Structure 1
């Protein structure tokens, strides 16, 4: 059985789950268009997650991917927070904000019993994870209703680990990919390689299906990844300017400008490496800084700066997530973009 048959989709194209820039609308549009739509849940409360899943089920009966992070929660470190606040203090002063009133809160939830309880009501066909896999107990609950489990690998070693620990297919996340790196066995950025280099190595190493992600923005990229042995592809950045996405106007403008040609990995916005368009904050503090608190604790101090700057029309402090190839970003309906991406599949 091919991966598309197993997933119950017509086209071997998955929409990357993109927390903060999409909700149920994009997931529905892609699934209805014949691909696999995705709902990112790392930033959703159980109630909001349930509401979004209800919206999706009311609009489509086609397969859906629900995505979660699997990071280990960390305790706040007062010394680390103090160093981070000191680094951000000049920006707070510039924006007329009080650095001593930074809100608390992790910003992103790992997959847990509460999330699994919500999922069991809806029984999504696909559940995917970033930063490894959940505990064996939670993974067994997910598989109990027949869900196909996917997770991201950024090295051959991670792909082998995922296969050995219960992933039904591996998403090969090349260095070109936008958003958070899925790396979980190492923090060494020198291990991260491009999609075209990583894909055939993972394909040769594992027996489960392999999904290529990173730098795939048009029909030629889709065809090339499939020719290299991918069973399917995952596309994210190209969908960011679709009307169904919730991408901000500032972010959309940046994606369709020359600025999108310059992206970098940064840990400033969350505490973990993630690829985005280079901003003032990244140029002046990093983009990779030892001052950023552990994931996801860096987020809370950035939030007020981002809100204040965006109110003035500036993206200086905004996480403008994007892959290295934003050439496919256009304001066209997601279903139309999906058909364009599939147009050179033989």
Structure 2
């Protein structure tokens, strides 16, 4: 999904720009010349992964943000917040804070499974000591007003995309147009900037969903959007959460507002429009509901937003 031009991707791009600007304003991170803060950081951790303790000599090293660089964490790419990690630990940490990650257990966190509880708390202590020494001014703690600002800009960008998409839909219908698919530094003081891949990694899972839905989302990027929608709705019917939304999802206007679908998301009589609905029904209270089959990639992010913000009320 990271490469798809969706409202969420556009909004995340704006947040990435804002966080990068905030990091530069806060001093950034230098990685070249005599003022080499990255080498100082590596030395502070003994050239070892800040989380796993693995020796990084001659091994791939990720520049990991202790406080995640996303709209929920508000972490910046600055000296003190950027620490060394193995690629595996970096991937497993994703958008978690350093302390939450180090206290996490289970199959999803195999890179730190070997650590004892004392090892985990010691690692947290080392990271926090490094952060205090690097930035005694307290700049590493995101200010509540800044976090509110990041969230507000994210929502504005998504709203702008949604408004433009709705206006486009109306125009396409007016014109009777068919559905179409969505469209080296030498300065010693040059700041080190966060990679797009790192930001996108930390932006994942900033909205907490139940495990079943997280698993569906994790596999979602490998599915066609129709299969993804079916998987989401199958789970919603299976656990009964769909009940509260059935009155809205059977209306075209509400379905367009939620997903930008041109037809109701669900109907109870497929024979009236068999070409636009999947044949396998979902059951609720003895009634068969058929899911609209007219999903396009432009609808994927809307489905995710509806799931996280409407169904579960998480808008990180």
Q: Shared fold by TM > 0.5?
A: no
Larger radius of gyration: 2
Short-chain TM bin: under 0.3
More helix by share: 2
TM-score (norm 1): 0.24
